Amino acid sequence: MLRIYLDANTSEALADALRREGFEVVRAQEVGLQDAEDITHLSWSSEHGYVLFTFDAKTMPKAIDEWQAMGNEHSGVIICEQMLKDAVSVIVRRLKNMAKVHTNKTLKNVTLHLGVVWDKPIQEGEGNG
């Protein structure tokens, strides 16, 4: 199962739900990064081998570009629509479907959007993004 770092704009309820499903989860608040900038979240998640999960679709892409322009790699970034922030069951379902085709290794330096394409289960030989 994926190792996921939830940035500061995520809920404890989401972390708990993901843990119940077998994901290894760390929240920014648990490592003292609740007030950190996007670059710091990228740095921590990359250093510790976690895919970064965020709702920050406006600022995170720029931070990723800056991070990579400095010659850094990241452990993967999953960007989720802000309107789903309180839809924990939808997010968990989509991440479970994503985890059927991706690992932390395959997500290295990849940015994915957790959109509706991840609502349906993946069939063998099929990809969702």
Domain boundaries defined on the chain: 3-118
* Model pLDDT, residue 84: 81
> How crowded is the C-beta side of 11, counted as CA atoms within 13 Å?
12
pLDDT value of position 121: 78
Within 1-129, strands assigned E span: 3-6, 24-27, 51-54, 77-79, 111-113
Q: What are phi and psi of 111, to 5 degrees?
A: -115, 125
Q: Model confidence over 35-62: pLDDT tens digits? A: 999 999 999 999 999 999 999 999 999 9
Terminal Cα distance for the chain, rounded: 18
- Rounded distance, CA 7 to CA 53, Å? 6
Average confidence score pLDDT of the chain: 93
How far, in Å, CA of 71 to CA of 105, rounded?
Answer: 19
For domain 3-118, the CATH class is alpha beta
Would you state the pLDDT for residue 123? Answer: 64
CA–CA dist 29, 34 (Å, integer): 5
Q: Is-above-0.85 flag for pTM?
A: yes
Tens digit of each residue's pLDDT (9 = 90 or more) over 76-103: 999 998 888 889 999 999 999 999 999 9
